Structure 1
Amino acid sequence: MRIHLITVCYNSEQTLGDTIKSVKSQLDCDFLYHAQDGQSKDGTVALLEREGVNFVSEQDAGLYDALNKAVANAGSQDIIGFIHADDVLASPDALKAVQVCFKEHPNADAVYGDLEYWNEDLSKKVRTWKSGKQASFAIGWMPPHPALYIKKSVFDKVGLFRLDMGSAADFEWMLRAIHIHKIKLHYLPKTLVKMRVGGMSNANLAARKSGLKYDLKAWEVNTGKKNYLAVLLKKLRKIPQYF
């Protein structure tokens, strides 16, 4: 099965080069790389053209709308993965490891690994998200979305990202797919992604409050009630990642 790797970008000239370099370094893997650009105003499009990346540049309604557009255009037999324009694949065998894992576990709907947070210039690791074996979302567990690779058939079954969930749209999708629809996961104990610290859900106190609100909304739209304990435990699970 081919991996369809997607990068959504908008005015990402400063970091996108690192992302592309990490993708081009991948060895012994059948994959297609696609960038979904939101009509950047800086040098992003020129960079994509210069690097020979397959891309579309068109207006969108934000990150998750762009992701939906890219997912919809993927092949029906593809495995979907996301590498954001601030992030890099952790090693040259990251995609190969994912592909091998799917071959060894053909019944898996998705494969997930670990993720590391790094500082802005990728010179110092800040924390490590070791996913571990699958547990319940009700106790705060979830896989890191950038280290999650999903069969396209799962999106066809459970739907795309909701655009009314703010920065928690990826959490809501995973809650819907994994907790509600019970898709089959397999854990790959390997760091797949290095992510720069920050992101729109942690930009400032207001963003954190908004993220909390949308986490609760994700539970409400999927189960009929806000699960305050699960959301609290989800936050507390981050603490050990610093040690």
Structure 2
Amino acid sequence: MKPFFSIITVCYNSEKTIERTLKSILNQSVNDYEYLIIDGASTDGTLDIVKKYEPEFGERLKLFSEKDEGIYDAMNKGIAKAEGTLIGMVNSDDYYEPDALENMQKKFEQLPESDRKHTALYGMQRQLRNGEEIEIEFVNDRILGEGMICYPTCFITKALYSDFGAYDTLYKSAADLDFLVKLKKTTDTHFVPVYNIISNFELGGMSASGRGAREAARVRYKYGVYSKTRMYYVILQSRIIDFVHFLKRK
């Protein structure tokens, strides 16, 4: 019997953080899930930590470890292997609230049957810096493109990925934005808000960098959210900020 959820964690050399992620899956209030860990051939203790928890997960845990072409290539591998109705992505330095899956399943089952096939649910996210809460973030899909839905809170149907494709691996940090805006602008996807805290997100990483800002600007121009002038302004601004940061490091 296929699971209701497929949860995917992409990781590489994540020994410092992945245990918290694993525990957050084990501590879910519902257990109708498979947990796919897509590891990029880690060379630290990541795999040892994952294997330590295999007895607790049992057959629900599926570990794959091989080199990949980046985070979105790894995510696409996970999606291809996933068998659940709803697919969620939790990063190896982030973690779910204990009732995250329960809240998503309840909301999904409240939807009309006709709306379920092409559905993307999303919720609220606790932002952290060095483990300390900064804010609770929620971005409504009505402004998707200008803003970005908290991606670790997203649960997207397997059918939607099958029908509309997955992540464009030409991007290094904005393929998730590209995918969601594509769904919003060009498909019949139902975006459904869930007003609960779903995930806890550690700030930082490439998407917060100048490169991430430049990729996001190009995505927004591609789908008509930004004018060409605004795109070039954001790109120039991000390069100036990167240069200032470079000077400060010298």
Same fold at TM > 0.5? yes
Correspondence for 1:199 among 197, 205, 212: 205
Q: Would you say 1:112 and 2:122 are equivalent positions?
A: yes
In structure 1, C-alpha distance between the alignment counterparts of 2:76 and 2:227, rounded to whole Å: 26
Correspondence for 1:88 among 91, 95, 101: 95
Q: Would you say 1:131 and 2:133 are equivalent positions?
A: no
The match for 2:217 is 216
Please, what TM-score do these two structures have when normalized by structure 1?
0.84
Query: Structure 1 residues 224 and 192 mapped into 2: Cα distance closer, same or farther (>3 Å)?
Result: closer
The match for 1:63 is 71
The match for 1:165 is 171
In structure 2, C-alpha distance between the alignment counterparts of 1:61 and 1:110, rounded to whole Å: 26
In structure 1, C-alpha distance between the alignment counterparts of 2:31 and 2:107, rounded to whole Å: 12
The match for 2:160 is 154
Query: Structure 1 residues 221 and 57 mapped into 2: Cα distance closer, same or farther (>3 Å)?
Result: same
Q: Would you say 1:23 and 2:25 are equivalent positions?
A: yes
In structure 2, C-alpha distance between the alignment counterparts of 1:32 and 1:227, rounded to whole Å: 43
% identical aligned pairs: 27
In structure 2, C-alpha distance between the alignment counterparts of 1:229 and 1:141, rounded to whole Å: 15
Larger radius of gyration: 2
Distance apart, 1:223 and its partner CA: 5.0
In structure 1, C-alpha distance between the alignment counterparts of 2:229 and 2:176, rounded to whole Å: 18
Query: Structure 1 residues 187 and 24 mapped into 2: Cα distance closer, same or farther (>3 Å)?
Result: same
| Number of residue pairs aligned between Structure 1 and Structure 2 | 221
Please, what TM-score do these two structures have when normalized by structure 2?
0.81
Distance apart, 1:118 and its partner CA: 1.1
Contact 2:207 2:213 in 1 (8 A): no
Structure 2 residues not aligned, in runs of 5+: 55-60, 235-250
Structure 1 residues not aligned, in runs of 5+: 233-243
